């Protein structure tokens, strides 16, 4: 049987998981899926269509028929889309409708790299490499503020910190697939690590974990 290298990155907002996942995907020439974008797309369409979180049937339909070709829409990376994503992501029916696509992506022949909140716990509990990326909320908020302020010069750091705290709380306390570290994941705290140092740590973790299978 061919050995499939599935690498799971999970962690809270702006911890650096997407940055690390894309470097590792390049290193190993693996396809990568940013699963946050899928939830962002569903949240974005909910807002655009004027639906509420009670319109579960329509939200499930949006999730079921999501066109993944639309995930490169830059609006999905905005501040509101992150909040809308976290709201729809708390609905078990929406999560269920998005599950099969993510499981199939993770388990394609040859392997894949995915980043999100529940990759190591729900989507690919069998992944041989799991990294839980985190950092102090203030540090994450500063990183996210630096990103967002480019297109929104009036944005206050305090507002981004409040967003991040709200999202951390909602993502960690929801009943369905809450943000949590898998028992067999390796913790990578990037609070005091620059991007290059974080990449070096992630590369070492992948090498070590891969070697033990």
Binding site for ligand ADP (CB under 6 A): 11, 13-19, 143, 147, 190, 193-195, 198
Separation of CA 40 from chain center: 10
Neighbour tally for 95: CB within 10 Å: 19
Between CA 75 and CA 181 the distance in angstroms is 29
Per the annotation, does 17 bind a ligand? yes
The binder of ligand CDP chosen from 20, 42, 63, 85 (CB under 6 A): 85
Long-range contacts of range 106-110, CB-CB < 8 Å, 24 or more positions apart?
Answer: 106/6, 106/8, 106/33, 107/4, 107/6, 108/4, 108/31, 109/2, 109/4, 110/2, 110/4, 110/5, 110/30
Instruction: Decide whether 34 or 95 has the Cβ nearer to ligand ADP.
Output: 34
Separation of CA 71 from chain center: 13
Dihedral class, residue 37 (left if φ above 0, else alpha if ψ from -120 to 50, else beta): alpha
* 117 interface partner picked from ligand ADP, ligand CDP, none, CB below 5 to 8 A per type: ligand CDP
* 198 interface partner picked from ligand CDP, ligand ADP, none, CB below 5 to 8 A per type: ligand ADP
CB of 209 to ligand CDP, least distance (A): 20
111 backbone dihedrals φ, ψ, rounded to 5°: 105, 180
The binder of ligand CDP chosen from 20, 89, 133, 141 (CB under 6 A): 89
CB of 143 to ligand ADP, least distance (A): 3
Per the annotation, does 11 bind a ligand? yes
Binding of residue 127 to ligand CDP (CB under 6 A): no
Instruction: Decide whether 9 or 59 has the Cβ nearer to ligand ADP.
Output: 9
Beta strands at 32-34 and 111-116: parallel, antiparallel or unpaired = parallel
Residue with tokens 């041989």: 128
Instruction: Decide whether 102 or 190 has the Cβ nearer to ligand ADP.
Output: 190
Binding site for ligand CDP (CB under 6 A): 13-14, 35-36, 39-40, 82, 85-86, 89, 116-118, 167, 171
Residues making up the binding site: 11-19
């Amino acid at each position: 049987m061919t050995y499939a290298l599935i690498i799971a990155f999970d962690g809270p907002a702006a911890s650096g998981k997407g940055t690390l996942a894309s470097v590792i995907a390049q290193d190993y020439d693996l396809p990568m899926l940013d699963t946050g974008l899928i939830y962002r797309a569903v949240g974005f369409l909910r807002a655009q269509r004027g639906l509420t979180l009670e319109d579960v049937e329509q939200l499930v339909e949006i999730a079921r028929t999501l066109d993944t070709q639309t995930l490169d829409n830059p609006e999905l990376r905005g501040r509101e889309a992150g909040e809308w994503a976290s709201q729809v992501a708390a609905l078990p029916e929406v999560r269920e409708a998005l599950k099969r696509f993510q499981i199939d992506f993770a388990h394609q022949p040859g392997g894949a790299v995915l980043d999100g909140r529940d990759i190591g716990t729900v989507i690919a509990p069998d992944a041989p490499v799991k990294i839980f990326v985190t950092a102090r909320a203030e540090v994450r908020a500063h990183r996210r503020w630096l990103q967002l302020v480019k297109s929104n010069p009036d944005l206050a750091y305090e507002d981004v910190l409040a967003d991040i705290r709200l999202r951390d709380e909602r993502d960690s306390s929801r009943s369905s697939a809450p943000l949590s570290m898998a028992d067999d994941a390796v913790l990578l705290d990037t609070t005091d690590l620059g991007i290059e140092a974080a990449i070096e740590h992630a590369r070492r973790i992948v090498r070590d974990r891969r070697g033990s299978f």
